[in-house]
């Protein structure tokens, strides 16, 4: 049982990064009174997730379920949401992707690399090794997400709630 759990964690983490990075694109569409479009995209994402899960779960078990639910979300965010938001804002699709996708993509690559590294460092499939793998991946993901995956307002809100962790704080000498 525990062998695939950290891979599931990685798939879900990367999917969350896509959703977080394209959340503003959905908010733009809602602000432009395109609620029906966002509703349709969410429905398509859910239907795709269910269908792909039914196909991938039997051969891949829990990893197939995670990928089946994650892939439609990531693809919907990458292609449909971003394309529609870019066209509604009259911005080029590649410019929109470059400004919104680059940082989350780099964080996802780091999480994928940390997953491979965790697999090498903790090769057994005991519950303790699963927890160590998950903690290792989490310890890479959280700082990267905090530094690169969040906009400045969201980052400042989180840091205020956490009491401003020194590693992430940027103190302004003029406004202490």
Which whole number is the average pLDDT over 27-45? 86
Torsion sign (Cα): 29, 32, 37, 43: positive
Which whole number is the average pLDDT over 16-21? 70
Residue 71: pLDDT over 50: yes
Which whole number is the average pLDDT over 30-53? 89
Judged by DSSP in three states, 164 sits in coil
Task: Give me the phi and psi of 28, to 5 degrees please.
Answer: -60, -45
Per-residue confidence at 174, pLDDT binned at 50, 70, 90? very low
- Among 108-112, 127-131, 168-172, the range with the most confident prediction by mean pLDDT is 127-131
Residue 66: pLDDT over 90: no
pLDDT tens-digit series, residues 98-125: 776 677 667 767 777 777 787 777 776 6
Report the range of poorest mean pLDDT among 29-33, 42-46, 50-54, 161-165.
161-165
Model pTM score: 0.57
CA 155-84-110 angle, to 5 degrees, is 40
Closest CA to 148 of 117, 93, 110: 110
pLDDT at res. 58: 92
pLDDT at res. 167: 45
Residue 83: pLDDT over 80: yes
């Amino acid at each position: 049982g525990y062998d695939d759990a950290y891979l599931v964690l990685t798939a879900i983490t990367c999917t969350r990064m896509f959703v977080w990075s394209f959340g503003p694109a959905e908010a733009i569409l809602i602000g432009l009174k395109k609620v029906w479009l966002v509703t349709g995209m969410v429905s398509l994402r859910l239907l795709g997730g269910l269908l792909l899960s039914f196909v991938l779960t039997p051969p891949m078990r829990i990893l197939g379920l995670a990928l089946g639910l994650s892939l439609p979300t990531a693809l919907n965010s990458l292609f449909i949401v971003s394309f529609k938001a870019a066209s509604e804002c009259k911005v080029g699709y590649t410019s929109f992707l470059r400004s919104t996708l680059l940082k989350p993509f780099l964080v996802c690559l780091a999480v994928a690399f940390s997953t491979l590294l965790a697999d090498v460092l903790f090769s057994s499939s005991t519950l303790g090794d699963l927890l160590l793998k998950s903690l290792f991946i989490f310890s890479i993901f959280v700082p990267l997400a905090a530094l690169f995956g969040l906009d400045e307002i969201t980052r400042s809100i989180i840091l205020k709630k956490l009491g401003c962790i020194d590693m992430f704080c940027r103190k302004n000498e003029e406004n202490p």
